[in-house]
Every structure is written in C-alpha cells, then in structure tokens.
Copies of this chain bind each other. A is one copy, B any other.
C-alpha cells in the first residue's frame, strides 16, 4: 500500500520557485541548529524563525504548524537517505552478494555518521510526530530497492527473499541506531560496523539456497 503522508503535515507551499526551496532549506537548517542548541523541548517556532532570519509569519507560510515543520524536516532527511540507498542499489546491481551487503551497511552507516549530531537530534525529535507514515514511506522506497538488488546478486539466490531482505534491513538499521543511542566511542562503533558486515554475510551464507552452495 502506498504510504499516505497526512496532507495536513506537508509544506503548504510547494517549492516551485527556487527561492522557496532556498528558504525551506534555511528553515530546516535553522531547526537543526536550534535542536542542537536547546533540544526539542525548548525549540519554539519563534526561535527557529529567528535563527533562520525570517519572521514567524513567514515560517507559518511554509509550515501550517509546528508538527509540519518536524515532519518536513524528517521527511527531508529520510528522502536524502533513501536516495543514497537507492543509488547504492543501482550501482551494485548484479554484483556478488558480499559486496552488496558491505556497500549497504557502509552507505547507511556513513549517511548517519556524516553529521552524527544531526542524526542524534533527529532520532530524538520524533515525538508524537506520528512518524509512522514517514517510516512507512521510507520503507516503501528502500525495501524494494534492496530486494531488487539482492535478487540480482551474481552469486546467490534466495528462496525467501522477502524475509531475508526484511531481516537484513531491520538488523542493519537497528544496529546503527543502537550504536548511536549507546553513544559508543568511534572505535567501538567502527568495530561493530565491521562485525555487522561479517554477521550479515555469515547469515547470507546460511540462507542462500542449496543450489548456490553446489555451484560454489
């Protein structure tokens, strides 16, 4: 089923004009800055507007209410993330399964680590923001992309691709979040990342259909 982003949570103004898009990005960036500076609880629309260098009125031109701002922000970042994953999937199409897993983990990990503070702040800003629709939308893009990639693996086939795909995504995404939540030192983080790749690969070795093993 297609994800249904509640209409009342989408930016009022479709950014047709370049200027609007610019303003939107400025507002997003300002939101992040405020989130980093004072945390979600003390984030106010006024503060965001101030930081963005626009008036509250203008802010409300772009987002009908505070919720919509959060929604838009998360959507923004999830979109970017989905794009990166899709790109990786396209690139790795037809590659050996081992490379796929490594690339997927690395892509996701890097995307999250690039601006670790933003990641952490976003993980927390999602309160009451019935973000289910966002997650759903994200899954709706990523699930098929990775499934398609795995299906194209040059050296493996899976009898139950869909569950394998789901397991891999859940594990990878979850582990990354867990690492952030535990605020692990960078070294430990990298170690876990490596082990995660190992783990996924060993798992895939196990669930690969019988014929693959023979042809090996």
Contact = CB atoms under 8 A, between A and B. Distances in A.
B166 A192 contact: yes
Interface string A76-113: 00000000000000000000000000000000000000
Interface stretch (A17-25, A146-154, A174-182): A174-182
Interface string A138-165: 0100000000000000000000000110
B182 A170 contact: yes
A207 interface: yes
A198 B203 contact: yes
A54 interface: no
Contact of A202 (B127, B139, B183, B205): B205
Contacts of A135: 181-183
A163 B139 CA distance: 30
A195 B202 CA distance: 12
B182 A175 contact: no
A199 B167 contact: yes
A212 interface: no
Interface residues of A, number: 41
Interface centre among A166, A171, A207 (most CB of B within 10 A): A171
Contact of A196 (B128, B139, B167, B191): B167
Contact of A203 (B166, B176, B195): B195
A14 to B, nearest CB: 18
Interface in A166-216: 166-167, 170-171, 173-179, 181-184, 188, 191-192, 195-196, 198-200, 202-203, 205-207
Interface centre among A174, A177, A206 (most CB of B within 10 A): A174
Nearest to A179: B170
Nearest to A178: B174
Interchain residue pairs A-B with the least CB separation, the first 9: A174-B174, A174-B178, A41-B128, A202-B202, A199-B203, A167-B195, A174-B175, A170-B178, A39-B128
